[in-house]
Amino acid sequence: QERVENKTPLVNESLKTFLNTENGRLVAGLVAEFLQFFNLDFTLAVFRPETNTFTGLDGRDNLARELGIHEGDDLKGVPLLLEVIKNGQQKEKGTCPSDG
């Protein structure tokens, strides 16, 4: 049912461009951290070559620092992406402090 059309080029230009941006690397790092967190080793084994990010992505500690997430006890048991989303949701819910 799925049509294979317009096969992916050997170099994924849009991803390459994305990974050259700071936030792009952050996003890819968070995806890799999610995969590592849940030991999705088979997916990682394909993700790394397909994205050409064998060693280049930040690890959990660096990602947390860049995102301003503080690794407390609460955070040990969750992938960073969950924390990122929760932060966004807090904002949605209007818990953003007003400037007064």
Find the shortest distance in angstroms from Cβ 55 to a copy of itself: 12
Integer Cα distance of 64 and 52 in angstroms: 22
Q: How far is CA 54 from CA 22, 48, 51, 100, in A?
A: 17, 5, 8, 47
Find the shortest distance in angstroms from Cβ 92 to a copy of itself: 5
Find the shortest distance in angstroms from Cβ 44 to a copy of itself: 9
Contact 88, 69 (CB under 8 A): no
Interacting residues with a copy of itself (CB under 8 A): 8, 12, 14-15, 18, 23-24, 26-28, 30-31, 34-35, 38-43, 45-47, 50-51, 67-68, 79, 81-82, 84-92, 94, 96-97, 99
- In degrees and rounded to multiples of 5, residue 39 shows phi and psi of 55, 40
Nearer of residues 9 and 73 to a copy of itself, judged by Cβ: 9
